[in-house]
């Protein structure tokens, strides 16, 4: 409801040009205010540092607008420097001529730099997914969800994590997909299976036999026609202790608290803050080093989704932003141990249990839609 109201006030429509202002950058502010005055900008966010990726993510306008902004920025910056430099000069004509020449150089440089930026930062500018891309991601996610449903049916005491890996590889390939984990930066398997004190990136092995009382995260990712999906679930094997079961359940609720904070034109930092606050209130800690990520055309895209972020910070969530939320919650301290010789497996430093759930979503005009879970 609240987001709808905000939308109406700002008269935002599809294709609106949104620009984030930087408090420390006077030329940027001037350039954006000028744009706002001639109507190319619908919403000005002033006084909050959001990082350069925010600008790209929320700049849903045309590239021409970007060029105009750079031009104005260049001119403003140029004149700011020149006013300082030439104050007090006697030959007025000479001053005017120099200012004119320098401004032209600044303007040309600004346009060239902008064009270069646009040519080489396509990945950042594609942070917002098109409806066609979202359809492609959904087809990929259908396989990813199917794989996890299959694991849910078959998992239990006596199963090895190697067997889970094979189920996943076979199902994914039979459905025309490729497991995204396989060969990802040298990762040797098709899935991550993280048991008890393993925080993430547990590597399936014939030696790891699931036993009564274990909690295990199965984290699965699929590529279909170049589109990526990624989600993970926890499984309790047989009779699990009350405290472990509570960790698993509350971790899911922490994820849901984060989800509730996903709002179009809201801030990404609020998502991590909500989950963190919830987990902390349950007496658990949140892993700081790993987080969610943008996803869709690549496995791990911008933005990084911290689960220990501060409220009121981070990227603006424009409709079309596609990312994961995947908090790793520890029963004891948040400290982790990354010294496993295999280079992947992460454990809690105190060897107490850790749990994680992961969903993939896209921000919509009214809220969000889950793509994989």
Block residue for tokens 């076979």: 170
CA-to-CA distance for 75 and 293, rounded, in angstroms? 36
Q: Where are the beta strands (DSSP E) in 143-256?
A: 178-179, 192-195, 198-200, 215-224, 227-236
The DSSP output letter for 342 is T
Q: Which is nearer to ligand MF3, 161 or 221 (CB)?
A: 221
**Interaction of residue 301 with ligand MF3, rule CB under 6 A:** no
**Interaction of residue 165 with ligand MF3, rule CB under 6 A:** no
CA-to-CA distance for 175 and 156, rounded, in angstroms? 24
By CB under 6 A, what part of segment 21-80 binds ligand MF3? none
Q: Pick one of ligand MF3, Co ion, none as the site partner of residue 214 (Cβ within 5 to 8 A by kind).
A: none
CA-to-CA distance for 268 and 285, rounded, in angstroms? 20
Up-side HSE of residue 278: CA atoms within 13 Å toward CB?
Answer: 24
* Token pair listed for 196: 């008890």
Up-side HSE of residue 32: CA atoms within 13 Å toward CB?
Answer: 20
Cis peptide upstream of residue 268 (ω within 30 degrees of 0): no
CA-to-CA distance for 236 and 193, rounded, in angstroms? 13
Stretch that binds ligand MF3, among 75-83, 112-120, 185-193, 301-309 (CB under 6 A): 185-193
Stretch that binds ligand MF3, among 39-47, 106-114, 184-192, 327-335 (CB under 6 A): 184-192
* Smallest separation, CB 31 to ligand MF3 (Å): 37
Nearest to 127 by CA among 269, 304, 267, 260: 304
Q: Which is nearer to ligand MF3, 34 or 142 (CB)?
A: 142
**Interaction of residue 187 with ligand MF3, rule CB under 6 A:** yes
**Residues binding ligand MF3: what is the number (CB under 6 A)?**
12
Q: Pick one of Co ion, ligand MF3, none as the site partner of residue 219 (Cβ within 5 to 8 A by kind).
A: ligand MF3
Phi and psi of 179, rounded to 5°? -65, 125
CA-to-CA distance for 357 and 191, rounded, in angstroms? 14
Nearest to 19 by CA among 73, 82, 80, 87: 73
> Quick one: which of 201, 276, 307, 347 contacts ligand MF3 (CB under 6 A)?
201
CA-to-CA distance for 324 and 308, rounded, in angstroms? 15
Sketch the per residue contact string, 226 through 245, with ligand MF3: x for CB under 6 A, - otherwise.
----x---------------
> Quick one: which of 184, 263, 337, 349 contacts ligand MF3 (CB under 6 A)?
184
Q: Pick one of Co ion, ligand MF3, none as the site partner of residue 251 (Cβ within 5 to 8 A by kind).
A: none
* Smallest separation, CB 187 to ligand MF3 (Å): 3
**Interaction of residue 181 with ligand MF3, rule CB under 6 A:** yes
Q: Which is nearer to ligand MF3, 74 or 292 (CB)?
A: 292
Sketch the per residue contact string, 202 through 231, with ligand MF3: x for CB under 6 A, - otherwise.
-----------------x-x--------x-
**Interaction of residue 192 with ligand MF3, rule CB under 6 A:** yes
Block residue for tokens 């950042």: 124
* Smallest separation, CB 300 to Co ion (Å): 7
* Smallest separation, CB 187 to Co ion (Å): 13
Residue 338, SS3? coil
Q: Which is nearer to ligand MF3, 53 or 326 (CB)?
A: 326
Phi and psi of 327, rounded to 5°? -65, 140
CB 234 within 8 A of CB 252: yes
Q: What residues make contact with Co ion under the rule CB under 5 A? A: 230, 324
Q: Which is nearer to Co ion, 72 or 305 (CB)?
A: 305
**Interaction of residue 328 with ligand MF3, rule CB under 6 A:** no
Q: Which residues of this chain interact with ligand MF3, rule CB under 6 A?
A: 181, 184-185, 187, 192, 201, 219, 221, 230, 326, 344, 358
């Amino acid at each position: 409801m609240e987001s709808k109201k905000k939308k109406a006030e700002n008269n935002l429509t599809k294709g609106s040009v949104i620009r984030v202002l930087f408090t420390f950058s006077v030329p940027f502010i001037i350039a954006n205010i000028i744009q706002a005055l001639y109507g190319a900008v619908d919403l000005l966010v002033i006084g909050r540092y959001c990082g350069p990726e925010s600008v790209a993510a929320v700049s849903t306008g045309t590239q021409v607008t970007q060029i105009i902004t750079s031009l104005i920025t260049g001119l403003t910056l140029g004149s700011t420097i020149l006013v300082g430099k030439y104050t007090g000069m006697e030959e007025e004509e000479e001053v005017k001529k120099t200012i004119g020449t320098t401004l032209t150089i600044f303007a040309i440089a600004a346009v060239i730099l902008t064009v270069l930026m646009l040519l080489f930062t396509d990945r950042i500018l594609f942070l917002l997914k098109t409806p066609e891309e979202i359809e492609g991601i959904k087809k990929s996610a259908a396989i990813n969800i199917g794989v996890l449903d299959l694991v849910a049916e078959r998992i239990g005491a006596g199963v090895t994590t190697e067997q889970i890996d094979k189920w996943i590889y076979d199902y994914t390939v039979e459905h025309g997909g490729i497991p995204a984990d396989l060969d990802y930066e040298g990762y040797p398997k098709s899935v991550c299976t993280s048991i008890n004190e393993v925080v993430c990136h547990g590597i399936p092995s014939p030696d790891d036999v699931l036993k009564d009382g274990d909690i295990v995260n199965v984290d699965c990712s699929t590529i279909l026609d170049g589109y990526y999906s990624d989600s993970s679930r926890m499984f309790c094997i047989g009779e699990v202790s009350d405290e472990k079961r509570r960790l698993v359940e509350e971790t899911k609720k922490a994820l849901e608290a984060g989800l509730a904070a996903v709002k179009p034109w809201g801030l990404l930092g609020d998502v991590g803050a909500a989950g963190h606050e919830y987990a902390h209130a349950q007496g658990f800690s949140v892993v700081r080093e790993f987080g969610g990520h943008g996803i869709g055309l690549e496995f791990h895209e911008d933005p990084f989704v911290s689960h220990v972020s501060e409220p009121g910070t981070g990227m603006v969530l424009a409709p079309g932003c596609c990312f994961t939320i995947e908090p790793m919650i520890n029963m004891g301290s948040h400290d982790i141990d990354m010294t496993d010789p295999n280079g992947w497996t992460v454990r809690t430093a105190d060897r107490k249990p850790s749990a994680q759930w992961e969903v993939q979503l896209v921000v919509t005009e009214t809220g969000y839609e889950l793509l994989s879970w």
